[in-house]
Chains A and B, each alone.
Chain A
Amino acid sequence: MKRLLFLLPLALFAVLAGYFYVGLQRDPAEIPSVLIDKPVPAFELPPVAGVAKPGLSSATLKGDVALVNVFASWCPPCRVEHPLLVRLSRESDVPIYGLNYKDKAEDAKRWLGELGNPYRAIGWDFENRVAIDFGVYGAPETFVVDRKGTIRYRHVGAITPDVLERTLLPLVQKLRAES
């Protein structure tokens, strides 16, 4: 019995190493989503209190190819990608919608006031309901939604200039040409 106790650390580590091995097989930036090519889950979210942008619902996402960006004020990588989104909103007509993830309204408001607000509409997902429906793994994440409101692509982690120029924008143009 006592011997089993001494084996415990080894057993726990074996499990952990298995997880590490599985984790290594995946590129953390490319986690497949079960929702690819499925319609956006139906939802309706209130706006962030104090921010002069409307709330977000699945109806908003129909009509034009759009980016849906999951962000939170407590998330450092979101800060890294945010200037890119702000720039994109100024320089192009690609609509960007925000999903404010597990955030206090006043924190989100302050954050947007400080860094700029690139979003046409923001859904305040304080209780994490809609993010769960989207299969969000953590902030930041960005979804590309086509004109019919179907999720076509998912990017996990901060958007870099490279990802934007080589993946997201070409995809948006292709989807726009499609329909």
Chain B
Amino acid sequence: MIAEIGHYALILALCVALAQSVLPLVGAARGDGALMAFAKPAALAQFALVALAFGCLVHSFVVSDFTVRNVVMNSHSAKPLLYKFSGTWGNHEGSMVLWSLILGLFGALVAGFGRNLPPGLKARTLAVQGMIGVAFLAFIVFTSNPFERVFPPPTDGRDLNPLLQDPGLAFHPPFLYFGYVGFSIVFAFAMAALIEGRVDAAWARWVRPWTLAAWSALTLGIALGSWWAYYELGWGGWWYWDPVENASFMPWLVGTALLHSAIVAEKRDALKTWTILLAILAFALSLVGTFLVRSGVLTSVHAFAVDPARGIFILAILVTAIGGSLAMYAWRAPMLKGGGLFQPVSREGALVLNNVILATAAATVFIGTLYPLFLEAIGGAKVSVGPPFFDSTFVPLMIPLLLAVSAGPMLGWKRADLAGALQRLRAAMFLSILAIAAAYWFADRRSVYAALGMGLAAWLIFGALVEWAERVRLFRAPLASVWSRAANLPRASWGMTIAHAGLGLVVMGIAGVTAWQTEVIRLVRPGDAFDVAGYKFVFKGVTRDDGPNYHFARGTFEVYRNEKLYAVMTPERRYFPVAGMSTTETSIRTNLLADIYATIGDPESATQSGNMPAFLAPVTPQTAWTVRIYHNPLVPWIWLGACTMVLGGLVSLTDRRHRVGAPARARPADAVASPAE
């Protein structure tokens, strides 16, 4: 019954979305207020209906209703409650419902909070949002019904992929989807502006908070995914350039570019067509990301839906959405009027550089991810692209960008003095050189790159702080005046300082763990002791026992530092008999400056019995085990830095300007459809 209500709600939501995508557009074209006003209740109703469907699906999972095929395939009665809950979106059908739910939520937010939007723009934006809703709801209803029944119902389910039974991954997809889908609103705004034939500073200001919200969520989603890969896969790394990781990284790069170009569009009325194009591309890449994961076009360890019929459907969505919007862009964008002029050396110039590099980086990742596909399609199929490609192309691209990050905000609008800006940054320069020297002399004299990486990170952090100090006139004005300046500093400005400093932390973490990671792999017997990066590890042996829905082998290490007990580490291997899969549970001990990271492997010369993995094979107390221990300096800073960047985004989002006093629009009289050139 509950499942049928959910299914019915989805179909109704599809009907509502259809009406929402047509009527407000007609209204806006005819100037009919009543039809335009239809957008708001429609958006709210679509959200309510999808939320109802989602609630029904969650209910089916939580009560383990094994008459629903989706629950049978992805859940099990012995699974902990959290994973029954997160199992709702740990599969193809459920994750599409989550996608639509977030899409509906964003539509409802625009409908509810967009009071200061002009009615025409709001109606058109919600109509475009409705079209995206139609595409995804039709996809669910016609090809991926999550409420399909099975008869006769089996006694128990097949369990969720155990790799996904993890708190980090339970919340990774929702944030990622918040990011992906958040760009849909920005896309809808861009399409509405193209239909209207008008982009101005007011438009850019309305778009910015949505971009910020989507960007912050996407940043958090990517960080969570990377953190999960770090501790759950047990390979000691934090980023693998896997196609699915890249799929989320490309919209992030373009979204970051959009965030910056929207500033120019808002403050200087320039780069407008470019900003529109970025808005289209950010959402297009979000769709491509969904497509890559869902269709099995690229093989990847992550992909969990390989079904060509769905692939064709998603391809149709992609072609309509991206092809349609780019055609619209080719037709209408040339009519948009260009805005303020500027010199190459200026704040605008710096932001253009930011955009060019980020767009190139996104294109690089795109080519690296899809190259095998292209070559295969033309029958070549002789090249494979792995991390070596990305290391040698992406990293060098980032260096000039990171160098420019600190200088950009010191430049004035329109025309600026680079020498003067660098002069004011001399404190940051001095501290960066100090950081290079310190890293070289005290930490590691072998790696010049690591030292330069530290210098780059210091440049970002201190550059952000110096810019902030300039704004509040720290050390120049009396303290009381500094205080009041800091208090009056726009939140957007605080946000930038925090986010740029956060980027510096990320760079420091990456440089540190790349250059200074220690990895020890060895066979140890209970009682053996060995050193890893100054820590003494004593292996106490392995115990076996059962968890709620798995069997496990748990190794115990006592870790000593300076002859004192520092930590007891207990890495595990788990075997999930229902899914027939094993997972690695790493044991990580962090002091925020470095992690020690332990995993256990298989016992020496274990013989396998049936399907049981080697780590559950019979052993004697003296059997040696393979263990892997890593010392990862600065690695926590990667995620601390990413969270700092998210914090920057959120602080910026609370800026008053986003909520009140939207500027009056430019007079519409001459703006509509003036001929090209």
A-side residues, CB < 8 A to B, are 2-3, 6-7, 9-10, 13-14, 16-17, 19-29, 31, 72, 74-77, 79-80, 83, 87, 90-91, 101-102, 110, 113-116, 132, 135-139, 156-158, 161
Cα–Cα, bound, A28→B602 (Å)? 32
- In order of increasing CB-CB distance, the 5 nearest A-B pairs are A138-B384, A10-B326, A22-B377, A7-B330, A24-B311
> What residues of chain A lie closer than 8 Å to B311, measured between beta carbons?
24
Minimum CB–CB distance from B149 to chain A (whole Å) comes to: 26
B-side residues, CB < 8 A to A, are 233, 235, 240, 242, 273, 277, 280-281, 284, 291, 295-301, 308, 311-312, 315, 318-319, 322-323, 326-327, 329-330, 333-334, 370, 372-374, 376-377, 381-382, 384-388, 519, 521, 580, 601-602, 607-608, 613-614, 626, 628, 676-677
Cα–Cα, bound, A139→B240 (Å)? 15
Given contacts A22-B377, A74-B386, A79-B235, contact A6 B333 (CB under 8 A): yes
Q: A6-B330, A19-B370 are in contact. List 16 more A-B contacts (CB 8 A).
A: A3-B334, A10-B327, A20-B315, A21-B315, A24-B315, A28-B299, A76-B235, A76-B301, A77-B299, A77-B300, A91-B608, A110-B519, A132-B382, A138-B385, A139-B384, A156-B299
Q: What total count of A-B pairs have CB within 8 Å?
A: 119
Contact assessment for A76 and B242 in the assembled complex, using a CB-CB cutoff below 8 Å: yes
Given contacts A28-B298, A136-B382, contact A10 B330 (CB under 8 A): yes
Contact assessment for B386 and A72 in the assembled complex, using a CB-CB cutoff below 8 Å: yes
Cα–Cα, bound, A135→B235 (Å)? 29
Contact assessment for A17 and B330 in the assembled complex, using a CB-CB cutoff below 8 Å: no
> What residues of chain B lie closer than 8 Å to A24, measured between beta carbons?
295, 297, 308, 311-312, 315
Minimum CB–CB distance from B552 to chain A (whole Å) comes to: 17
Minimum CB–CB distance from B291 to chain A (whole Å) comes to: 8
Contact assessment for B315 and A6 in the assembled complex, using a CB-CB cutoff below 8 Å: no
Contact of A137 among B327, B384, B387 (CB under 8 A): B384
Cα–Cα, bound, A77→B580 (Å)? 17
Contact assessment for A135 and B382 in the assembled complex, using a CB-CB cutoff below 8 Å: yes
Contact assessment for A75 and B386 in the assembled complex, using a CB-CB cutoff below 8 Å: yes
Contact assessment for B323 and A14 in the assembled complex, using a CB-CB cutoff below 8 Å: yes
Given contacts A23-B376, A136-B384, contact A114 B521 (CB under 8 A): yes
Cα–Cα, bound, A26→B188 (Å)? 33
> What residues of chain A lie closer than 8 Å to B580, measured between beta carbons?
161
Contact assessment for A9 and B277 in the assembled complex, using a CB-CB cutoff below 8 Å: yes
CB-nearest residue of chain A to B323: A13
Contact assessment for A135 and B319 in the assembled complex, using a CB-CB cutoff below 8 Å: no
Most buried by B among A24, A25, A110, A156: A24
Minimum CB–CB distance from B33 to chain A (whole Å) comes to: 33
> What residues of chain B lie closer than 8 Å to A74, measured between beta carbons?
386-388
Contact assessment for A17 and B676 in the assembled complex, using a CB-CB cutoff below 8 Å: no
Most buried by B among A6, A21, A102, A137: A6
Contact assessment for B373 and A17 in the assembled complex, using a CB-CB cutoff below 8 Å: no
> What residues of chain B lie closer than 8 Å to A91, measured between beta carbons?
608
Minimum CB–CB distance from B312 to chain A (whole Å) comes to: 6
CB-nearest residue of chain A to B385: A138
Cα–Cα, bound, A79→B277 (Å)? 40
Contact assessment for B376 and A6 in the assembled complex, using a CB-CB cutoff below 8 Å: no
> What residues of chain A lie closer than 8 Å to B315, measured between beta carbons?
17, 20-21, 24
Cα–Cα, bound, A2→B235 (Å)? 50
Minimum CB–CB distance from B642 to chain A (whole Å) comes to: 22
> What residues of chain A lie closer than 8 Å to B322, measured between beta carbons?
13, 17
Cα–Cα, bound, A28→B323 (Å)? 25
Cα–Cα, bound, A72→B658 (Å)? 50
> What residues of chain B lie closer than 8 Å to A136, measured between beta carbons?
382, 384
Cα–Cα, bound, A113→B323 (Å)? 50
Cα–Cα, bound, A10→B377 (Å)? 20
Contact of A6 among B295, B334, B372, B382 (CB under 8 A): B334
Contact assessment for B381 and A6 in the assembled complex, using a CB-CB cutoff below 8 Å: no
CB-nearest residue of chain A to B234: A79
Contact assessment for B318 and A17 in the assembled complex, using a CB-CB cutoff below 8 Å: yes
Cα–Cα, bound, A114→B235 (Å)? 11
Contact assessment for B388 and A6 in the assembled complex, using a CB-CB cutoff below 8 Å: no
> What residues of chain B lie closer than 8 Å to A158, measured between beta carbons?
299, 301
> What residues of chain B lie closer than 8 Å to A135, measured between beta carbons?
381-382
Given contacts A3-B330, A74-B387, A137-B376, contact A23 B677 (CB under 8 A): no
9 A-B residue pairs with Cβ-Cβ distance under 8 Å, sorted by A, are A17-B322, A20-B315, A22-B377, A24-B297, A27-B308, A72-B386, A135-B381, A137-B382, A156-B299
Cα–Cα, bound, A102→B330 (Å)? 43
Contact of B326 among A13, A26, A132 (CB under 8 A): A13
> What residues of chain B lie closer than 8 Å to A77, measured between beta carbons?
299-301
Most buried by A among B277, B308, B315, B377: B377
Contact assessment for A113 and B521 in the assembled complex, using a CB-CB cutoff below 8 Å: yes
Contact of A23 among B277, B318, B319, B373 (CB under 8 A): B373
Minimum CB–CB distance from A21 to chain B (whole Å) comes to: 6
Contact of A138 among B297, B326, B372 (CB under 8 A): B372
Contact assessment for A23 and B330 in the assembled complex, using a CB-CB cutoff below 8 Å: no
> What residues of chain B lie closer than 8 Å to A23, measured between beta carbons?
297, 373, 376-377
Cα–Cα, bound, A113→B601 (Å)? 11
Contact assessment for B381 and A137 in the assembled complex, using a CB-CB cutoff below 8 Å: yes
